[in-house]
Amino acid sequence: MVIRRMAWGRPGNSGNERSDGVAGAPAAAPTARDAAKATGLAPDHATALCRAYEALGLGAFWSSDADGRLTYLSPAARALLAGEGDPIGRTLLDLFHHDETQGDNGSERSLRFVLARRTRFERLTVRTGPASQPRWWSLSGEAVHHRGQFAGFHGHCADISDQRRHAEESSHMALHDPLTGLANRRHMNQTLARKLAALASTRRGCATMLIDLDRFKQVNDTLGHAAGDALLKQVADRLVRLVGDASRVCRLGGDEFQIILPEVEDRGHLGELAEALIEDISQPYLIDGSRCLIGASIGVAIAPFDGAAADDLVRSADLALYAAKGSGRGRFRFFSSDLLKAAEDRKALEEDLHDALAQGQFALHYQPIVKAQSNQVIGVEALLRWNHPEHGQVSPARFIPIAEESNLIRTIGEWVLRKACADAAGWEVPLRVAVNVSPVQFADEAFPALVTSALAQSGLDPARLELEITEGVFLEEGGQTDARFNALKGLGVRLALDDFGTGYSSLGYLKSAPFDKIKIDQSFVRGATQPGNRNRAIITAIVALAQALDMETTAEGVESFDQFDLMKALCVSHVQGFIYSQPLDNDTFVAGLSGGDWTIEPSGPARQRHQRQAMFRRVGVVHEDHYYPVVLRNLSKSGALIEGLLEVPLDTPFVLDLGDGQLVVSRVRRSQGHQQGLEFEQELVSDGNGGLCTRYRVSPYQLSAAGLTLGAGPNGPLQINRGPNAKVTMPAFAMATDWNGAGLAWTDAA
């Protein structure tokens, strides 16, 4: 409400007000007659109405002189502002402060602007008091002129602090999750869009992670939704603690969370963060006295490689999350362009898996378990192999998770158990046979009866059967798990704790679970010989724990003599890995037993090499201004084997193009005929699914600046852009006898 050209002086203050029209003099307070003339009311009636309005606290009137100093303020408003001294005589700009949230419409600059214009202004939002305890006002005014000269303002103001707080609370509720206090989906989408827009001009990247909690539904179903809500709050706290900034974490809804990481492109760093998040989320929770165990799967996408717009980037992260969950959960995946095809292949693989057992496509191979000090074979582990009629050997890492999700694992697991018992019963030497047991199998109340049937049918001594059980079986706590252990031990079989330390380790269950052996996962064996690696200390602790509990230990995945010597030095009792033998089919294995006691002499490389992944994949290499299509035969963190070029000189610099902007600077360290061994300048990092990827990717902007363009489609091979009339020659390396080893001309630009 604005009362134009109307103000009332304070009692006894009329001596400070002038109406002589002198330029620069304070504005004269209108009389009751002026008010009556402006409103059409009798003077006394107009005065009474204005006084009543002030008394009701609905607003306040004010007036200022030509210098902007207050000459009048309604008593209630004056009392509210008296904490910083009497407002009378202070300037409007000194009394009212900038509102940062309102932009130019409510800023100090706008108030200064309208006062300088000496015209009417309405409903400017301004603040008084300290920033920690602000009071908000809506300010309106009308310029007053006397005899053609500006004399000040008459106006109205209203305390809008309550409305402001309510609006802020409503805005917060609209943009935040009421349970965890984190940003909600709408807020995160807005934030991500702003970040991407801001970073696009600088051509910087931005990563986002989608996190889905594994087995959260079980908590809701068993403990109730109140416990589920409490668990989500604890998960939110852990995410914020690890990320370090609550504004970058959001709860999308249900058990899904999102993290944005502006200006982060390093996939090595992102992979380490994802692993840390998974490990921290997977630690036990205490909810109303009940111990809860959950897990997490994470999908990671990076702009602009995986999407320049917010929706595209989130879609890519969602595909990566789906791939992570499909790969067995409890892991992370980076988005890659082949995920769509991988999803289709996985669906086809699941359909083929239903027929694999009936069509006899499965087989068991046996890998020896050897006493580290004597090289004597004391047992074997039965490993399932799938010989697909079209794809050949399919990795268990691919089909076992599919079998578990499609509920085929019970049928397949029963076949493995019965087959292993039958084979072992026919061996001349009474070796133990270890069989992996899925948590899904172990949770079946009929599992002890199945073991009994397999032993009876094969005639195998129960003491020769060792069941390898992962820590996942302890996710279902309670008497049923203990009863299952007791039933199995009652049969006389041995129990081994597999993959110890990689999942949901707790020393508590080792007190009651009747294990005979702890298997040290190969992830601890790898890197244990490298300086500064903590794996050695972890293995030492596991061995000491096992010895204290009178248990054996087996180190998995030992491949080199430096690993082998370290395991013996740390008193690991048994070793399993390529240092002794690869998994063997039953006929080959039985042939090795023909001499009675079987000892194997270890053989392998002197030192640990990075694990190489065999493959047959078409890629390319760049040298100077030539692009060569080649075939990638194997890949490790530090190097690769390619074929397709002939007699390449040693130390030749190449850039290996792995697709999707993944370029690796390398040199030829071994060359024989059409095969070359490359050593990378910078090691690759894990892609979260057992594969490898570059730490960074070269953006399309950098490729363009370097004179390189992507070929067919966004995921095609690189091509060197020489213009419409240029021609790129592709000389054979066999003819390049005078090659001088010049560096790559475009690496600086990229």
Q: How high is the pLDDT of residue 748?
A: 29
DSSP states along 177-231: -TTT-SB-HHHHHHHHHHHHHHHHTTT--EEEEEEEEETHHHHHHHH-HHHHHHH
As a whole number, the mean pLDDT across the chain is 80
Please tell me the distance from the alpha carbon of residue 296 to that of residue 316, in angstroms, as a whole number. 18
The CA-atom distances, in angstroms, between 638 and each of 181, 613, 733 are 44, 12, 24
* SS3 assignment, position 612: coil
Q: How high is the pLDDT of residue 511?
A: 67
pLDDT of 714 over the 50 cut: no
φ/ψ of 695, rounded to 5, equals -65, -40
The CA-atom distances, in angstroms, between 487 and each of 10, 311, 396, 449 are 94, 53, 29, 9
Label residue 437 by pLDDT band (50, 70, 90): very high
Q: How high is the pLDDT of residue 572?
A: 94
| Lowest model confidence (mean pLDDT) among 317-331, 501-515, 640-654, 657-671 | 501-515
In the numeric block, the tokens 């069509």 are attached to 359
Handedness of CA 390, 393, 395, 400 (dihedral sign): positive
* Residues 677, 641 contacting (CB under 8 angstroms): yes
- 80 or 641, which is more confident? 641
Q: How high is the pLDDT of residue 299?
A: 94
Residue 399 makes CB contacts below 8 A (sequence gap 6+) with: 349, 353, 386
pLDDT of 3 over the 50 cut: no
> C-alpha angle with apex 680: 679 to 683, nearest 5 degrees?
130
- CA dihedral in degrees (677, 683, 688, 689; nearest 10)? 10
> In this predicted model, what pLDDT tens digit does every residue of 361-394 receive, in sequence order?
999 999 999 999 999 999 999 999 999 988 888 8
> In this predicted model, what pLDDT tens digit does every residue of 250-295 receive, in sequence order?
999 889 999 999 988 888 899 999 999 999 999 989 888 888 888 9
- 17 or 677, which is more confident? 677
Please tell me the distance from the alpha carbon of residue 620 to that of residue 627, in angstroms, as a whole number. 7
Instruction: Tell me the mean pLDDT in the region 663-692.
Output: 87
Structure tokens at 653: 């610099």
pLDDT of 19 over the 50 cut: no
pLDDT of 742 over the 80 cut: no
Please tell me the distance from the alpha carbon of residue 302 to that of residue 694, in angstroms, as a whole number. 13
- CA dihedral in degrees (583, 586, 588, 592; nearest 10)? 90
pLDDT of 711 over the 70 cut: no
| Lowest model confidence (mean pLDDT) among 34-38, 124-128, 604-608 | 34-38
> C-alpha angle with apex 440: 439 to 441, nearest 5 degrees?
90
Pairing of strands 332-334, 465-470: unpaired
> In this predicted model, what pLDDT tens digit does every residue of 321-342 receive, in sequence order?
988 887 767 889 999 877 777 7
The CA-atom distances, in angstroms, between 382 and each of 129, 228, 379, 616, 652 are 76, 39, 10, 28, 45
- 580 or 709, which is more confident? 580
Please tell me the distance from the alpha carbon of residue 589 to that of residue 559, in angstroms, as a whole number. 19
Q: What is the CA radius of gyration of the chain?
A: 38
Detail the DSSP E strand segments found in 24-173. 60-64, 70-73, 121-128, 135-146, 149-159
Structure tokens at 426: 């026919």
> In this predicted model, what pLDDT tens digit does every residue of 99-111 receive, in sequence order?
555 544 444 457 8
Label residue 702 by pLDDT band (50, 70, 90): low
Q: How high is the pLDDT of residue 517?
A: 93
φ/ψ of 354, rounded to 5, equals -65, -30
Q: How high is the pLDDT of residue 558?
A: 92
Q: How high is the pLDDT of residue 506?
A: 55
The CA-atom distances, in angstroms, between 476 and each of 40, 215, 279, 493 are 83, 10, 19, 22
Query: What's the chain's length in residues?
Result: 750
* Residues 423, 433 contacting (CB under 8 angstroms): yes
**Helix 216-223 vs helix 225-243: angle between axes, to the nearest 10 degrees?**
140
Q: Which of 246, 252, 259 is nearest to 185 (CA)?
A: 252
* Residues 670, 677 contacting (CB under 8 angstroms): yes
pLDDT of 659 over the 90 cut: no
Instruction: Identify the DSSP state of 97.
Output: B
Q: How high is the pLDDT of residue 172?
A: 67
Beta bridge partners of 496: 468, 517
φ/ψ of 488, rounded to 5, equals -70, -45
- For the chain, which domains are there? 14-160 (3.30.450.20), 176-337 (3.30.70.270), 345-592 (3.20.20.450), 613-735 (2.40.10)
Using the CB atoms, write b or e for 544-562: b if 16+ within 10 Å.
Answer: eebeeeebbbbbbbbbbbb
pLDDT of 18 over the 50 cut: no
Phi-psi group of 263: left, alpha or beta (phi > 0 → left; psi -120 to 50 → alpha; rest → beta) = left
Please tell me the distance from the alpha carbon of residue 197 to that of residue 199, in angstroms, as a whole number. 6
